[in-house]
């Protein structure tokens, strides 16, 4: 877990400086493992590498979600209350207030983030 970040772009850069990438999630097993990591950390929100791109209307479709590492979005947290982009929330995190289900969050927040070596 990378915690020396002041915003999402710094999280990405800090992961890359460790020869890693922001985490992408491709299965329920991987999602559950990462949720447990977040629970153990006690952090309120923890960035992941999921970004909303190309959305200007305030709504979002799955086609507008991209993993930062370029892998396909082939898994979504089905228990997430919603993943509709809000006006300034184009980044995503595990959210403690939602039992660490995915939530869109500000890209300018100073959250920790999970980095992943290799795909």
pLDDT of residue 63: 46
Q: pTM value?
A: 0.86
Q: Which two tokens stand for residue 55?
A: 């959305």
Write down the pLDDT at residue 55: 53
Provide the 3-class DSSP secondary structure of residue 91: strand
DSSP, res 14: H
Choose among 114, 91, 92: nearest CA to 18. 114
Q: How far apart are CA 1 and CA 53, in angstroms?
A: 24
CA count, 13 A, side-chain hemisphere, 78 = 5
Average pLDDT over residues 90-106: 91
Per the CB < 8 A criterion, the answer to whether 81 and 98 are in contact is yes
- pLDDT at residue 12 is higher than 60: yes
Residue 59, pLDDT > 60, answer no
């Amino acid at each position: 877990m990378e915690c020396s970040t002041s915003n999402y772009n710094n999280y990405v850069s800090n992961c890359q400086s460790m020869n890693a990438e922001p985490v992408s999630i491709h299965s329920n097993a991987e999602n559950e493992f990462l949720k447990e990591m977040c629970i153990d950390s006690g952090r309120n929100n923890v960035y992941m590498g999921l970004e909303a791109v190309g959305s200007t209307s305030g709504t979002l479709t799955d086609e507008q979600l991209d993993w930062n590492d370029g892998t396909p979005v082939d898994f979504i947290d089905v228990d997430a209350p919603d993943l509709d982009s809000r006006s300034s929330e184009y980044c995503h995190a595990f959210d403690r207030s939602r039992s660490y289900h995915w939530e869109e969050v500000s890209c300018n927040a100073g959250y920790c983030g999970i980095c992943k070596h290799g795909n």
